[in-house]
Chain A
Amino acid sequence: MAPVHHFLYLGAFLFSTGLIVIITKRNTIMVLLGLELMLNASNLNLVAFNSLHPGSLQGQMFALFVIVVAVCEAAVGLAIVLRVYRQYRTSVPDHVNELNQ
Chain B
Amino acid sequence: MNAPLILFYFFEAAAAIAAVALLFARSVFYGALLVIVILLALAGLYVLAFAEFVAVTQILVYAGGILVVIIFGIMLTSRLSGKPLVVEHTLPVSGGLVGLAFFGALVYAIALQTFPTSESVAKTSTTFDATQTVGIALMSDYVLPFETTGILLLMALIGAAVMASDNASKKI
Contacts and interface: CB of A to CB of B under 8 A. Distances in A.
A adjacent to B, CB under 8 Å: yes
Interface of A: 1-10, 12-17, 19-21, 23-27, 29-30, 32-33, 36-37, 40, 43-44, 47-48, 50-55, 57, 59-61, 63-65, 67-76, 78-83, 85-86, 89, 91-92, 94
Which 7 residue pairs of A and B lie closest in terms of their CB atoms, listed nearest first?
A20-B99, A54-B125, A72-B156, A16-B103, A23-B95, A12-B106, A79-B160
**What DSSP secondary structure best describes chain B's contact surface?**
helix
Contact of B159 (A2, A17, A59, A79): A79
Nearest to B102: A16
Indicate the member of B76, B99, B106, B161 with the most A CB atoms within 10 Å: B99
Contacts of B115: 3-5, 52
A37 B25 CA distance: 14
Given A12-B103, A12-B106, A40-B39, A80 B163 contact: yes
B142 A15 contact: no
Given A23-B91, A61-B137, A13 B66 contact: no
12 contacts: A3-B117, A4-B115, A14-B15, A17-B23, A26-B87, A26-B88, A26-B90, A29-B74, A37-B38, A61-B134, A61-B142, A76-B159
B163 A79 contact: yes
Interface string B13-39: 001100110110000100110010011
**What DSSP secondary structure best describes chain A's contact surface?**
helix
A83 B164 contact: yes
